[in-house]
Amino acid sequence: MSFIHCFDPTVLREYDIRGIVGRTLHEADAFAIGRCFGTMVARSGGTTVAVGYDGRVSSPLLEPQLVAGLKASGIEVIRIGRGPTPMLYFAAATLETGGAIMVTGSHNPPDYNGFKMMLGGKPFYGAQIAAIGSMAASGDVVEEAEGKERSVDIVPQYIARLVSDWDGGDRTLNVVWDNGNGAAGEVLQRLVGSLPGSHVVLFPEIDGTFPNHHPDPTVPKNLVQLIAEVRRRGADIGIAFDGDADRIGVVDDSGEVMFGDQLLVVLARDVLKQHPGATVIADVKASQVLFDEIAKAGGQPLMFKTGHSLIKAKMAEIGCPLAGEMSGHIFFADHWYGFDDALYAAIRLLGIIARGESTLSSVRAALPQVINTPELRFDCDDRRKFEVIREVAARLKAEGAKLSDIDGVRVQTPDGWWLLRASNTQAVLVARAEASSPEGLERLKAALVGQLTQSGVAAPDFSGENAGH
């Protein structure tokens, strides 16, 4: 039986496949992804693919079609069922499968869904995702075969492995967790039962309609309930996850948000005690404070491109023990497997707090204080966004500006820095600025707006956007 399939062009993205179920993403797409990915695994010499799915309403409909496509390629499918994305990564690493696919819409609205993939233990992204589209359109797949499937309950092993790295002794921490009705719910409830201390889990029920708040911990309004509960209970910390639990959000004991780069400072100081001189990677959106603090702690800070797949690949390439993104992706290769796992990051963070003598709020308060804008995203045509970055970079270099162009342009001045980069997943430009004073921040914003104006791009609204951290 011949196989030809065409995807909606909007669903094949840089780091994953994602779309609106019933509009741009369909069950037939799930089968086609299985058929093409299974072909890639088979051609690379692999025979097995682990498959998991998140708590979205559409996930139990897409997962069987994905499995059918993989089996039609002669693959043995190991179905781990519903749970967080990092549990699938764990299954792939410990069962040594040829590939892995997670059916997940991550933190997108409820009507979205998608697929995150690994091939041969490595991130699957960029040209590899584009190849899925071209293979499907041309029917370039292995001859139809009859694969097999089996179900594996990986939850007990995953929880046991998480708990095995608890290093906080018997200190009784008071912890509030916000599952946000995401896919970690069942695993999280079993995990906290294995940890010392007092734990309460908000919205533990897995519910793909997300009735309490949207599962994206980088958005402050999604942390309102967690903050209130931390303050009400006088908790040591609050921890939130996104919809598939590969990103973490943290609230300190005073109820203040700890941003991704501040969290990475805490984790890096601890890891560098065991790995003096090691490289720690952070993305270009992170505060200069983070890079300076890594250096102060004896590490080698490396600024790298935004994107969880890109950072995982870079970590493996240089063999570094820790990396992180502003978005809350935290990657441990120290004692762990190098993938982004918010549950594991939480375990390591709780251990640091339990062993330490300082509260998390005092650690945060002791960091150098800077003023910055949040990440500002504004529309720019897909065909134009990268041209704008090239134009801005060329002008700045001609002026002799101090800049990094690893991912867009990040410009360093005596006032601080500003960033402009093109999103790899949306028709938007992304901007951010950070300074040591309000006046300095205004100068940075003016410089950024000036560059956008020269390229004929309407600047984002910076009014009321300044925040200290």
Question: Is residue 468 scored above 60 in pLDDT?
Answer: no
179: left (phi over 0), alpha (psi -120 to 50) or beta: alpha
Closest CA to 178 of 219, 133, 146, 118: 219
**Residue type for 197, please?**
G
pLDDT band at 320 (very low <50, low <70, confident <90, very high): very high
| DSSP per position, 336-395 | S-SSB-HHHHHHHHHHHHHH-SS-HHHHHHHSPP-EE---EEEE--HHHHHHHHHHHHHH
Stretch 22-49: mean pLDDT: 98
Stretch 339-349: mean pLDDT: 98
Of 90-99, 235-244, 374-383, the range with the lowest mean pLDDT is 374-383
Domains of the chain by start residue, with CATH: 17-153 (3.40.120.10), 157-366 (3.40.120.10), 371-468 (3.30.310.50)
| DSSP per position, 23-77 | TTB-HHHHHHHHHHHHHHHHHTT--EEEEEE-S-TTHHHHHHHHHHHHHTTTPEE
Distance CA 267, CA 401 (A): 32
Question: Is residue 99 scored above 70 in pLDDT?
Answer: yes
Q: Between 461 and 1, whose confidence is greater?
A: 461
Stretch 414-433: mean pLDDT: 92
For this structure, is 106 an active site residue?
A: yes
The confidence score (pLDDT) of residue 375 equals 85
Distance CA 385, CA 127 (A): 19
Distance CA 447, CA 442 (A): 9
Question: Is residue 300 scored above 80 in pLDDT?
Answer: yes
Question: Could you read off the pLDDT of 153-195 as tens digits, one per residue?
Answer: 999 999 999 999 999 987 889 999 999 999 999 999 999 999 9
Count of helix runs (H) and strand runs (E) in the chain: 14, 23
In 10 A of CB 302, how many CB atoms? Answer: 18
The confidence score (pLDDT) of residue 427 equals 86
In 10 A of CB 33, how many CB atoms? Answer: 30
The mean of the pLDDT values for the chain is 95
Q: Kindly give, in sequence order, each residue whose CB lies less than 8 Å from that of residue 338, ignoring residues fewer than 6 positions away.
A: 312, 315, 316, 331, 332
Stretch 139-144: mean pLDDT: 96
Residue 438 exposure: Cα atoms within 13 Å on the Cβ side: 5
Of 53-57, 69-73, 217-221, the range with the lowest mean pLDDT is 217-221
Catalytic residue among 58, 59, 73, 106: 106
The confidence score (pLDDT) of residue 101 equals 98
The confidence score (pLDDT) of residue 171 equals 83
The confidence score (pLDDT) of residue 463 equals 61
pLDDT band at 385 (very low <50, low <70, confident <90, very high): very high
Stretch 99-103: mean pLDDT: 98
Question: Could you read off the pLDDT of 65-83 as tens digits, one per residue?
Answer: 999 999 999 999 999 999 9
Phi, psi of 357 (to 5 degrees): -105, -10
Residues facing 175 on adjacent strands: 199, 237
Question: Could you read off the pLDDT of 427-467 as tens digits, one per residue?
Answer: 899 999 999 999 999 999 999 999 999 999 988 877 655 55
Closest CA to 241 of 188, 179, 199: 179
Question: Is residue 405 scored above 90 in pLDDT?
Answer: yes
Question: Could you read off the pLDDT of 114-137 as tens digits, one per residue?
Answer: 999 999 999 999 999 999 999 999
Q: Which residue bears the tokens 């410089």?
A: 447
**Residue type for 109, please?**
P
